[in-house]
Amino acid sequence: MDKIKEWLGQLSLIFKKKTIDALFPPLIFFIANQFLSLTYASGLTLLYLALLVLYRIIKKHTKRYVLVGVGGVLFSISLSFLSGEAIYYYLPGLITTSLIVILCITSLIVKKPLAAWVSHLTRGWPIDWYFRDDIRPAYKKVTLLWALYFLTRLMIQLPIFLTGNYSLYFVVNSILGWPMNIVLLIATYALGISSLRKLSGPSVSEFKNKEEPPYEGQKTGF
């Protein structure tokens, strides 16, 4: 039970309230596009975004997060509307997946794993801790896992995108989206924590306090 609570706590750091906001725009766009024209599908999605922004402002949620999220969807809608093809709604996501693969591989080559940078930005832990010889290998393994996953995802989605099969792409993207992202995050945490324990490096608090070995190591959080 404690382990489940720990994992749920880690997932909440990533998702919080953002999951629903990310799921609804493509769902609304897809359903509307099945029964209405591309113009109406775009209009209904924009209406949802306007109501979402209004709700977030009333609730005083982070404006930067709202603007970034809405901006991404607006860009996707613009591409599909201007091209006249609904499939182009997913082009930004396809480009993002490609960039993640490139970043993963590049970061591994320069020995600055992408997973370490993501964790640093999310948690605010000292960047020097991540690049210790008894810490970095754990983040290297996770970055390699990410590279393999997103490369596989790209190899599946790109051919479907090129055929222009919007309905099939929606189904595949829905499966490879949040459901698989949750699986990936759980795998990331499990692999990361087990790797850190095997490396016997210091925990973040031990690193900050400049403690000497033997270390207790990082017990929770990755």
Q: Looking at the predicted structure, is the pLDDT value of residue 56 above 80?
A: no
Asked whether the beta carbons of 173 and 160 are under 8 A apart, the reply is: no
Q: Rg (Cα) of the chain, in Å, rounded?
A: 20
The first and second tokens of residue 139, run together, are: 């983040």
Instruction: Kindly state the average pLDDT of the residues 183-212.
Output: 91
Q: Say how far apart CA 104 and CA 208 lie, in whole Å.
A: 27
The first and second tokens of residue 191, run together, are: 């692999």
**Whole-number pLDDT of residue 26:** 78
**Whole-number pLDDT of residue 69:** 65
The dihedrals phi and psi of 86, each to the nearest 5 degrees, come to -60, -30
The structural domains of the chain, with segments of one domain joined by +, span 16-84, 86-222
Greatest pairwise CA separation for the chain in angstroms:
66
Mean pLDDT of the chain: 84
The label of the residue with tokens 């490609």 reads 98
Asked whether the beta carbons of 76 and 92 are under 8 A apart, the reply is: yes
Q: Looking at the predicted structure, is the pLDDT value of residue 17 above 60?
A: no
The first and second tokens of residue 25, run together, are: 């725009």
Q: Of the candidates 122, 125, 105, 126, which has an alpha carbon nearest to the alpha carbon of residue 114?
A: 105
CB-based contacts of 65, cutoff 8 Å, min separation 6: 18
Instruction: Kindly state the average pLDDT of the residues 163-179.
Output: 88
For residue 16, name the pLDDT band (cuts at 50, 70, 90). Answer: low
Q: Of the candidates 142, 183, 207, 176, which has an alpha carbon nearest to the alpha carbon of residue 26?
A: 176
**Whole-number pLDDT of residue 44:** 84
Q: Say how far apart CA 54 and CA 143 lie, in whole Å.
A: 37
Q: Say how far apart CA 17 and CA 108 lie, in whole Å.
A: 31
Q: Looking at the predicted structure, is the pLDDT value of residue 1 above 80?
A: no
Q: What is the pLDDT of residues 103-130, one digit of tens each?
A: 999 999 999 999 999 999 888 899 999 9
The first and second tokens of residue 43, run together, are: 């209009």
Asked whether the beta carbons of 202 and 211 are under 8 A apart, the reply is: yes
Neighbours of 142 (CB within 10 A): 26
**Whole-number pLDDT of residue 191:** 93
- Highest averaged pLDDT of the listed ranges 11-15, 16-20, 58-62, 82-86: 82-86
